[in-house]
Amino acid sequence: MQIRFMARSFGVSGDRAGQESRGYRFPYGPVAVITPFNFGLEIPVLQLMGALFMGNKPVLKSDQKVSVIMEQFVRMLVNNCGLNPTDVDFINSDGPVMQKLLRYSKPRTTLFTGSSKVAEMLVRETKGKIKIEDAGFDWKVLGPDVPRKNSEIDYVAWQSDQDAYGFSGQKCSAQSILFMDRKWKKVDFLGRLEALAKRRNLDDLTISPVLSWTSDAILQHVDNLLKLPGAKLLWGGKKLENHTIPEVYGAVEPTAVFVPLSAMRSKKAFKLATTEVFGPVQVITDYNKSGKDRVKSYLERMEHHLTAAIVSNDLDFQQEMLGATVNGTTYVGRRARTTGAPQNHWFGPAGDPRGAGIGSVEAIQMVWSCHREVVHDVGTIPEDWTTPKCT
């Protein structure tokens, strides 16, 4: 029943009797959905169903590594849920084949979730007819109001560990950099975080293979970070041992590198420190009161404004940080996180007109429909009307 309301229209009265304008959410028609490996069910299902709910005809391509999931889901829709088989096209292919399909079929819009490099290529291929939810180098700021209760400190540490290392960091919402007010050092926050990271292991799958980076590539990036002035390894930085993971995949310990704020001043150093690693690696830095403005400037300089967390119950600090940033999904408060399935809220980037959303009515409307205005003008023409002078 609620699906019908996603296409709710509105009316505005005209300037004479019989005139009215009506705004409609209108489907595009032929559309494409391209989704990544790391959320093999959630992302493609939400976007595919959103496209269908708005009346489009989608072609779906999920990543080859996990395409069997969506193949079975589409079969379920057809065999058990009454979906007309002609309503959806499904393709299992690599990137170049899908690119060729887009080139020749020319869908009216394409939804792409994945790497920023591929996103920019598809922007050119589709001539801008695309919505993207690409890379996210996501930040978390721990505010100056350190809680007094150990349970609350432990909670913040647990959430940080989960944000950075859950699914080995293979999430566009993973915590990539942590800005910590130096007051958190007094409660040994980093020691707590390290202890949590070291609990993770392959036996219980709390650490897992990295599917898009090799171990050598990850550790080379860590080594490059350690060359920055004042940088140091906090924990990790080693390959996992006693496993049978093929070398084509990454297998490294949960890793954190401390990089001083001052070491990120240059463009080259900042780019290195804010490079997203789709694996269990995070950058940690700290700041004091005088360094807060620099933190805000760094947050503004980042290119991909996806998720963020402001861990503070201090309203003044919250407002200051919110006013200086634009991330599309920003969690605020003592329990703030960067990673959360969008079960009850919008998830997507901000600051980019190509940005795609997911998880809400507004997201479906924005990605899978366009605005159409119909102006009705059926008023009676007066009998004494005469042709006016030429203008």
Catalytic machinery residues: 133, 172
Closest alpha carbon to 112 in 193, 55, 31: 31
Closest alpha carbon to 356 in 344, 368, 345: 368
> Under a CB-based contact definition with an 8 Å cutoff, are residues 329 and 347 in contact?
yes
> What is the spatial distance between Cα 211 and Cα 250, in angstroms, rounded to a whole number?
7
DSSP 87: G
Tokens of 173: 């919402």
Buried b (16+ CB within 10 A) or exposed e, 326-353: bbbbbbbeeebbbbbebeeebbbbbebe
Contacts of 203 (CB under 8 A, 6+ apart): none
> What is the spatial distance between Cα 155 and Cα 1, in angstroms, rounded to a whole number?
39
DSSP 93: -
Report the Cα–Cα distance between both ends of the chain, in Å, rounded. 51
Q: Is 338 helix (H, G, I), strand (E, B) or coil?
A: coil
> Under a CB-based contact definition with an 8 Å cutoff, are residues 179 and 287 in contact?
yes
Q: Tell me the angle at which helices 150-165 and 189-197 cross, rounded to the nearest 10 degrees.
A: 50
* DSSP-assigned beta bridge partners for residue 141: 179, 310
* Phi, psi for residue 324 in degrees, rounded to 5: -100, 0
Residue type (1 letter), 207:
I
Q: E strand or H helix at 216, and its extent?
A: helix 215-226
